[in-house]
């Protein structure tokens, strides 16, 4: 009787091991299937939608891939499963390349660049600080836009803004010295002089005022 019970116990334990092994294999197959299906599903997503949600898509992809690879050892036919995983990896790389080609990364516009765009026009002055586009024919208009824009927005500028305005103003004046030798008319020169006469004290007063206001706020 005891011998019989012993055999039954061994059989039950063996069946338990087989059951656990089957469960692990089933789970492993499921993880591989989920990975392959997920990659296939990404292909069906519109490029624009995929680009807008790429970080999330890639995060889930990494999770599914890790789960699939971690369970390969539990599969009887691990070689075939590995081939499926590799095929999906290659497919995903193709998709990711498409995303990189289609995605146009727009550089962030700094507050300094926004100020320059407002004073001179969109993209006229960049980090190279080149005023080569300013010539005898347009320099009066450039001064007008610059000075009138600064006057209209003077109450909203910070000290850093006024520092930048001063820097740009001096650079424009330097370009004017060159343009005067390249055919600047006396009439335009007089108009520019009148604008400068009005603006010079304004930039000085407002720059000092913005600095004082910042110091007051810092104390408070």
53 in helix, strand or coil?
A: coil
157 in helix, strand or coil?
A: coil
Supply the pLDDT for residue 149: 94
Supply the pLDDT for residue 55: 87
Nearest CA to 171 out of 109, 111, 124 is that of 124
| Least confident segment among 29-33, 49-53, 83-87 | 49-53
Can you spell out the DSSP letters for 77-132? THHHHHHHHHHHHHHHHHHHHHHHHH----PPPPHHHHHHHHHH-TTSS-TT---T
60 in helix, strand or coil?
A: helix
Residue in the block written with tokens 């600064």: 150
pLDDT digits (tens, 9 = 90+) for 99-155: 775 555 566 788 899 999 999 999 899 888 899 999 999 999 999 999 999 999 988
Supply the pLDDT for residue 211: 62
Confidence of residue 191 (pLDDT cuts 50, 70, 90): very high
| Least confident segment among 49-53, 98-102, 182-186 | 98-102
Q: Which residue has the higher pLDDT, 6 or 109?
A: 109
Q: What is the mean pLDDT of residues 47-72?
A: 85
Residue 2 has pLDDT above 60, yes or no: no
Count CB-CB contacts under 10 A for residue 61.
Answer: 20
Spatial distance between the Cα atoms of 82 and 80, rounded to a whole number of angstroms: 5
Spatial distance between the Cα atoms of 53 and 64, rounded to a whole number of angstroms: 17
Structure tokens that stand for 161 in this block: 């803004």
Residue 18 has pLDDT above 80, yes or no: no
pLDDT digits (tens, 9 = 90+) for 73-92: 788 777 888 888 888 889 88
């Amino acid at each position: 009787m005891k011998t019989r019970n012993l055999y039954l116990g061994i059989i039950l334990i063996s069946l338990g091991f087989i059951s656990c092994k089957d469960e692990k294999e089933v789970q492993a197959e499921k993880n591989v299937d989920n990975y392959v299906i997920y990659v296939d599903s990404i292909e069906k997503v519109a490029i624009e939608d995929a680009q807008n949600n790429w970080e999330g898509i890639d995060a889930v992809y990494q999770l599914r891939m890790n789960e699939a690879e971690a369970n390969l050892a539990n599969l009887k036919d691990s070689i075939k499963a590995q081939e499926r995983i590799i095929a999906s990896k290659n497919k995903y790389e193709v998709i990711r390349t498409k995303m990189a080609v289609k995605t146009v990364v727009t550089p962030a516009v700094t507050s300094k660049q926004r100020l320059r765009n407002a004073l001179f026009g969109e993209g006229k002055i960049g980090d190279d600080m080149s005023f080569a586009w300013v010539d005898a024919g347009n320099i009066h208009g450039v001064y007008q836009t610059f000075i009138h824009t600064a006057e209209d927005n003077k109450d909203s500028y910070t000290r850093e803004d006024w520092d930048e305005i001063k820097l740009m103003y001096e650079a424009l004046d330097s370009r004017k010295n060159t343009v005067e030798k390249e055919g600047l008319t006396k009439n335009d020169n007089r108009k520019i002089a009148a604008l400068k006469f009005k603006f010079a004290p304004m930039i000085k007063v407002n720059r000092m005022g913005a600095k004082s206001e910042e110091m007051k706020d810092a104390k408070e």
